[in-house]
Amino acid sequence: MQTKNNFSDYDRIMFQDSWKCWWCETNQADCLHHIVGRGSKNGDVESSPLNAAFMCNQKCHLQNHGLITTKEWKVKLLKMTYDYLISTGYTLTEKDNMFIEKYSEYYFFLK
C-alpha cells in the first residue's frame, strides 16, 4: 500500500493482514485515513497508528469524507483501529498513549 501521509512504513505494515475496509467491509481497502487529522508535522502524535483507519480510498474514504469526520464516526473508527491493533498483539507506545490522552474525548470506550 503506497500512501502519501505521515504514517511510517512500519505503521502501514501493521495493517497488511487486514483487507477489510472499515466502512464497506469489503476486501478492497487500500489506504489509511487520518481519523482525527494529520497534525501539524511528522513528529506529532497524529502519526500514531491509532489514528489510522483502513479504507477503500476511492469508493469509501473520499466519497464519505464529510461523514467520517463527524464525532460519531471518529469514535467508531478509533475503536475499530484500537481493537484491531490490540488483537494483533500490538503494544501501545509512548506516542500512542499521548495520542489517547490528547483525544480522550473519543476514547470513552476504554474507561
pLDDT band at 6 (very low <50, low <70, confident <90, very high): low
**What is the pTM assigned to this prediction?**
0.87
Using the predicted structure, report yes or no on whether residue 4 has a pLDDT greater than 80: no
In a domain, 4, yes or no: no
Using the predicted structure, report yes or no on whether residue 2 has a pLDDT greater than 70: no
Q: What is the pLDDT of residues 26-79, one digit of tens each?
A: 998 888 899 998 876 556 899 899 999 999 988 998 989 889 999 999 999 999
Instruction: Work out how many domains the chain is built from and give that number.
Output: 1
pLDDT reported for residue 83: 95
Compute the distance between CA of residue 9 and CA of residue 65 in angstroms, rounded to an integer. Answer: 24
In a domain, 29, yes or no: yes
In a domain, 49, yes or no: yes
Of 107, 96, 109, 108, residue with least CA distance to 14: 96
- Domain extent for 49: 9-110
User: 10 near 17, Cβ under 8 Å?
Assistant: no
pLDDT band at 89 (very low <50, low <70, confident <90, very high): very high
Compute the distance between CA of residue 75 and CA of residue 109 in angstroms, rounded to an integer. Answer: 9
In a domain, 71, yes or no: yes
Using the predicted structure, report yes or no on whether residue 11 has a pLDDT greater than 70: yes
